[in-house]
Chains A and B, each alone.
Chain A
Amino acid sequence: MSRWRWLAALAAAVASTLASAAGFDYQLQPRKVADGVYALIGKTENFSRENGGNIVNTGFIIGRDGVIVIDSGPSKAYGEQQRAAIARVTDKPIVQLLLTHAHPDHVFGNQAYPGIPIASLPATAVTLTQSGDALLGNLYRLVGDAMRDTEVRLPNAAAADGAFSMAGRKLRLMAARGHTDGDLMVFDEASRTLFAGDLVFFERTPTTPNADLPHWLSTLDSLDSLDFAVLVPGHGPVLHDHAGIAQTRDYLRWLRDGLQGAARRGLDMPEVLQLPVPERFQQLAVLKTEYERSVTHLYPAYELDTLPTIPRSKPK
């Protein structure tokens, strides 16, 4: 290699190092879903180094005097770029961050919002207090460098079920559970937009690490009567109908019935992992991975239901 080519290669290496030092570029593009309502749509993938953890939908609502942000994304860099993306749409100040639930892809951009009230349901704050560091450590492992400098920032205000007026915008906060033990939905009255958090997935397999299927299913039932025009699911494309609710319910019911049936037949977990998943779910992103995870999360309780306690007897 000639000296000049060597120098050119060195310059290229330095340039690429500098580029990566500048941080992960999430290329966030706010998408207008209703008047004054925007969503930032993530990929329907698993966490990876390539996607920087951006597998999540976040959003914001522009009120008369300020902006309400819904979820802060997976990392400090995401939160900062989310703020920058909001600033490209409006120069109104951010006055409120609402967290839908305690999962890491939704809350670790909190650091980008110093001095701004961050509200969540009490259960969300409890989970982040107890398990935030473990969740964060796991995300560093899965996502790597895009997580740089990310730290846990706990919510500093409690959200509660009911009407919530902020920045001249009338919202309705809906406290529910099922995906986790604290799931907050945000309904914008003016545009009839529902930010459903992870209670609704669309075209992406639901995740269940902290799920309670009966509660989740009854929460979905309660959404049937809600008159919304736009639904932003926690993962997957924006909806204008009940298809995401129906799909999430269909999958969760199948999961519940399948796991319960397998337990009653006496199957062990590795056998349950091999069971076929119906054709109608095959188009859901990351189906195999999430099904395997769900078996691990949920099967132990179903199998225990089938194993009666044996009275103690004296060893012979």
Chain B
Amino acid sequence: MSKLPLIVVLSISLPVFAAELPADPLNSPAWSTIAGRYFKGQPVVFDARVKVTAPASAEDPLDVPVQISAEGLADVQEMLVVADLNPIQKILSYEPLHAAPSLAFRFKVEQSTPIRAAARTRDGVWHLGGVWLSAAGGGCTTPSYGSADPVWQTRLNEVRGRLWPADGRGTQRLRLRVIHPMDTGLANGIPAFYIDRIVLSDAKGLTLARLNTFEPISENPVLSFDLNGSGAVRVVGGDIQGNQFSAEITP
């Protein structure tokens, strides 16, 4: 870790293209695969301003809490979160249109892995940060609780949520919990079934943020957004089978 600041300084000044990948500070065995799959032909830098906060060890492989943040980085267009060694690597992509470049979520982990957040700025450069997570694993191939309990079917896409006012932070916090099994398709005999999109907008219809979620997101997703402005937020989302949900969260 002591080498990190040096790498960051060099990388910020010299965005490196896929042909000459920067060395991975996390020393992941899958770094070149990840780079080829998600950042091919695009400039990539490791940047200490992109932070991933997670426990060192996954107490519950079905529900690992993670926060990503690119505070201090201007003009973040899109954020991408991947876990290198998960059978399904891509966890989410996020467009914080009128929101802080930060997001908290929980995901299922199959084995110890780096978790990376990448933030793409307006100049097209991907800024990467990440941490290693130690895990006993099995999170992605374990059946959801919902798949064994038909009760969820009557509560599918039920939304709980609340807004916390800005209080000097400049953003208001939206927390959401949606009932959904978020089946990965990797548990025997249970097909993939997950929420794949959530769009947040304000009372005037202005889109504040767009989130695309994938199989690794935990069952009954809990999400925290930091949104610009104040006032009611409309949440609209849906899953890969076309079920939709919407909710109006008022302060």
Within 8 Å by CB of A308, from B162, B224, B236, lies: B162
Q: How far is the CA of A209 from the CA of B177 in the complex (A)?
A: 22
Evaluate contact between B175 and A307: CB separation under 8 angstroms. yes
Evaluate contact between B63 and A296: CB separation under 8 angstroms. yes
Within 8 Å by CB of B175, from A266, A296, A309, A311, lies: A266
Q: Does A170 contact B (CB under 8 A)?
A: no
Chain B contact residue count (CB 8 A cutoff): 33
What are 27 A-to-B residue pairs whose CB atoms are below 8 Å?
A: A141-B136, A265-B164, A266-B162, A266-B164, A266-B224, A269-B65, A269-B104, A269-B106, A270-B67, A271-B104, A273-B53, A292-B55, A292-B57, A295-B65, A297-B60, A306-B175, A307-B162, A307-B176, A308-B162, A309-B158, A310-B247, A312-B158, A313-B247, A314-B246, A315-B236, A315-B244, A316-B236
Evaluate contact between A270 and B104: CB separation under 8 angstroms. yes
Q: How far is the CA of A270 from the CA of B133 in the complex (A)?
A: 13
In chain B, positions 41-90 with a C-beta closer than 8 Å to chain A are: 53-57, 59-60, 63, 65-67
Given A268-B224, A313-B246: A303 and B55 within 8 A (CB)?
no
Q: How far is the CA of A304 from the CA of B56 in the complex (A)?
A: 24
Nearest Cβ on chain B to A261's Cβ, whole angstroms: 13
Q: How far is the CA of A310 from the CA of B63 in the complex (A)?
A: 23
B151-177: CB near A (< 8 Å → 1, else 0) gives 000000011111010000000010111
Q: Does B193 contact A (CB under 8 A)?
A: no
Nearest Cβ on chain A to B24's Cβ, whole angstroms: 22
Chain A contact residue count (CB 8 A cutoff): 31
Nearest Cβ on chain A to B101's Cβ, whole angstroms: 15
Nearest Cβ on chain B to A262's Cβ, whole angstroms: 12
Closest to A311 in B: B247
Q: Which residues of A contact B (CB under 8 A)?
A: 138, 141, 209, 265-266, 268-271, 273-274, 289, 292-293, 295-297, 300, 303-304, 306-316
Within 8 Å by CB of B60, from A273, A274, A296, lies: A296
Secondary structure at chain B's binding surface: helix, strand, loop or mixed? strand
Within 8 Å by CB of B53, from A265, A274, A309, lies: A274
Residues in chain A near residue B67, CB distance under 8 A: 268, 270-271
Given A307-B175, A308-B162, A310-B248: A293 and B59 within 8 A (CB)?
yes
Within 8 Å by CB of A296, from B65, B158, B159, B247, lies: B65
Within 8 Å by CB of A268, from B59, B104, B158, lies: B104
Q: How far is the CA of A308 from the CA of B66 in the complex (A)?
A: 23
Nearest Cβ on chain B to A5's Cβ, whole angstroms: 37
Evaluate contact between A310 and B55: CB separation under 8 angstroms. no
Q: Does B34 contact A (CB under 8 A)?
A: no
Closest to B179 in A: A309
Residues in chain A near residue B209, CB distance under 8 A: none
In chain B, positions 92-120 with a C-beta closer than 8 Å to chain A are: 104, 106
Q: How far is the CA of A265 from the CA of B175 in the complex (A)?
A: 11
- 6 smallest A-B Cβ distances: which pairs? A269-B65, A268-B104, A266-B164, A270-B67, A310-B247, A307-B160
Evaluate contact between B164 and A268: CB separation under 8 angstroms. no
Q: How far is the CA of A306 from the CA of B53 in the complex (A)?
A: 23
Closest to B52 in A: A270
Q: Does B245 contact A (CB under 8 A)?
A: yes
Closest to B55 in A: A292
Residues in chain A near residue B60, CB distance under 8 A: 296-297
Evaluate contact between B136 and A313: CB separation under 8 angstroms. no
Residues in chain A near residue B175, CB distance under 8 A: 266, 268, 303, 306-307
